[in-house]
Structure 1
Amino acid sequence: MKPDREKSLNPTPSDTNRLRQHAEEALKTQPTLSDAVLSHEKAIALVHELQVHQIELEMQNEELAQTREEAETLRDQYIDLYDFAPVGYVTLDPAGIIQEVNLTGSLLLSMNRGALIGARFGAFLHLDSRLPFTAFCERVRRTGITETCDLKMQGPAGDRVWYAHLDGRVKQAGPNSDGRIRLAFSDVTENRRANEAAAESELRFRRLFETMLQGVVYQNADGRIISMNPAAERILGKSPAEFINQTSEDTEHHTIREDGTKFLGLEHPAMVALRTGEDIKDVVMGVFNPREQGYRWISIDAVPLFHPSEKRPYQVYTIFDDITERRKAEEVLREYGEKVQASNEELQQFAYVTSHDLQEPLRNIVSFSQLLNRRYQGRLDADADEYLGFIIEGGQRMQLLIKDLLQFSQVQTTARPLEQVDMHGVVADVLRMMERQIREANATVTMGDLPAIMADASQLEQVFTNLIGNALKYRRHDLPPAIQISAERMRKCWRFAVADNGIGIAPEFFDRIFVVFQRLHTIEEFEGTGIGLAIVKKIVERHGGRVSVTSVPGEGSTFFFTLPAVEIRARSRNV
């Protein structure tokens, strides 16, 4: 449809005839050439006048042509704007039939523009939106102003569901309105989904905010509290109404430090975060709870919030855990630990003193029993000789038990500070000390690459002495002992292994063998006190490691123990 202005630039034949008729009537009123004889001068003037009028007509024709060209350009621009607008346009008659539609509208409705003309707009509405659309059209006609609504749409085949935002107004307002409606509509499906996702996220956040166990408080840029969750109300002992618009600096907020001194409002994590723009973490404070008439201890974090491209926080939120019960439990545990530590120290001292004090009388018993045996053996009856043998054997065994018990008690009391230790050198020293035992057992000992660690060298010598000694003691009679010593780097520790080909251990005894005085064999089968592996376990644990064993009866055992891996700088050497 062309604009009305174009009609004035294209006169019809009837318009031309009407103009000619008016001109002829006007000419009749003018004097003709036959009524007067023109002079030469008048004839020249008349010709000049005619030439001027001709030029004027030519100029007017040029202006009319230019105006028509501009009008056609405007018309093309209008058509382009109409067709390629970012929104769809349709004109509906009172029955809802589509009379006009732009190209964008046809694309949104997924149908050719020619096929849309004469189609019912309601066919593109989802069933849920048809009654709301009818009410919308009635409202547009009744008010005569632009009305808006959001509707659920569908494709021509009902297969594609999408959402549209509609702006509608009557095409001609007033009493002469013919009831036609001009609609502008756009696809807001993505916006709607984004809004729904945001609403769902807000709902989830709100539920989390209201049900989480940690207290949360939001404060604006001035430090005034604007919201808090139920957990914060429970921990702080006040309702939101008592906190809103207050700041952390208000005097009625009684907060203290762990040492009992007052926690100033300006030093509150929220206020510090607002001033510095930095997160504040793990601040412990006591907050007076008026409902309980006592302090609740909290561990609080403060996080400032920023608008994009801004350096000053517009809000800060604090999140805090109620650690009151934890602090009470820690205090009880600390007191209990101190009592246990004191008890252990007393027990170790008792074991040391007892073991030390027992050695002298026991040494006398063994010495005099041996003296009696040497002087009177064979001079008394056989029973007396046997009884003396029992006394000497029992006394010597008691001496060995006391010696091992003393070693066990001294793991902590005689421990030395950890220092850099070359484990290869430690094991080499142990093998030199045990050279005679290894030779007598016809054993083979091999050693892999061993690292340098931070340890107590003398205690690790005890560990390897006990483990290698057990490998020699619990050997098979049909096979020479073969002992392999190695180390493997794990993630944060070194795992050492002492493997043998001895008699092995049944799995059900793996834990039992590390307990004090626990033996798997009789004294007649194998000598020993049952303390050696308990000493190994205690030394390893003192170094921050763990000890374990794997074994197959009849094939051998492998004892493992771990020690922390610490990066050690190489010592400089003078060449």
Structure 2
Amino acid sequence: MIDQNKNNSDLRKRAEKMDREKTSRIPEDMKNRSSEEIQEMLHELRVHQIELEMQNDELRTSQMELETVKARYFDLYDLAPVGYCTISEKGLIMEANLSAATLLGVARGSLANQPISKFIFKEDQDIYYLHRKKLFETSSPQAYEIRIVKMDGTVFWARLEATVAQDAAGVTVCRVMLSDITASKKAEEILRRDKKTLGKMVKERSIELMEIQAELERAKRLYDIGILAATVARELRNSLFGISLAATVIRSKIADSMIDPQLQVIDKMIAESGQIIDNLLFYSHLRPPQRETLNLHSLLEECTGALQPVRSGKKIVLSKHIDSLKGVPVSADPDQIREVFSNILNNSLDAVPDHGGQIDVRARVYRELVKIHITDNGPGIAKADLKKAFDPFFTTKERGTGLGLTVCRQIVKMHGGFINIKSGKGKGTSVIMTIPKTEPKRGNDLFKIGTSPYSNIL
């Protein structure tokens, strides 16, 4: 307001000076004019004076409006919630609002003529230069996300939206809007991580559902087989008993070296058929474990001793490394665990060659479980067959029901453990059985098949 009064005073002085100069040049004939003419001239002067006053009022109004526009510009530009910068073609900051200065962590006055690249994260420099080049070449608006480094070294994610414009001198410049998008970037990362986690959970649950479906199908087959097996087994066992009795009578009546080998074949066939019947009955009447405290070391010794390699006509090397089981109590069903050991050991015995066969039995004890490895140097199992090894009635043997491993798997699973097979064609076979020392709590996922953290321990 003081400046405005000073301007008005200076204007009046200039007007009075001009009036004096004009008055000194009044022609002589003005003195001879009539009063009417002078009155008319005064009227004209007054009209001009009023016009000037009206124009002056309009100028003052325009000036006030201009001040209002300036204040509004200050609010919209300087106090905007996002940063605004004007950048030259050389990449120098020509102008910036307060928000831009705050985002960059620099006093507004010190931003002039600073290169904008100075505040761009080193690894993102190429992104900035590529978009700047594209902007000035095509005049097409550019939008991109880069990391900005403040003066104190703090890094944040920013979105830059750039357009081409002309400054007051007609020079081409770049107008940039700068926004802090760090929060949204963090949210995106959380969503991406959650999406990945959710996808993994869905995949795991899908696998579990497929396993449950497979188990249901096996259970239905078991039920159907059980009804048939119980009837057939009784009839077959009666017949086998008759054959065995006849062979015993023949052996007692006739002592002939020509007949003895044939009787031994009969005994072997009866034993194999009996095992098949036992598997059928065991499979069809699988019951929950009747747990008691077992000495696994003694049970394994009993099962390995029952292999009778001489009777099978094979000369094998049986090595045992099971001393770690001594004194380790395990809660399990002795009949069922014996069935598992016998099945696996008999499979190994069938697989190894007649001469040079090797069966290795090892045991390891962990804090919560025990692990039994039974390995042979047989021909191994093809990859395609390995996937079906636990399926009911699947077998690669000339004789057999294909129920042995199925029974083993069911028993071990009922004990809260799991059983795996590692094999390859020509590489032998290793069966790994893992069972907990104590009965696992209901709903405990530790011993689900394939999910235990110990499943890869050798």
Answer whether TM exceeds 0.5 for this pair: no
Structure exhibiting the larger radius of gyration computed from Cα positions:
1
Choose between structure 1 and 2 for higher RCO, CA contacts under 8 A separated by at least 6 residues: 2
Query: How high is the TM-score relative to the length of structure 1?
Result: 0.36
Which has the larger helix fraction? 2
Query: How high is the TM-score relative to the length of structure 2?
Result: 0.43
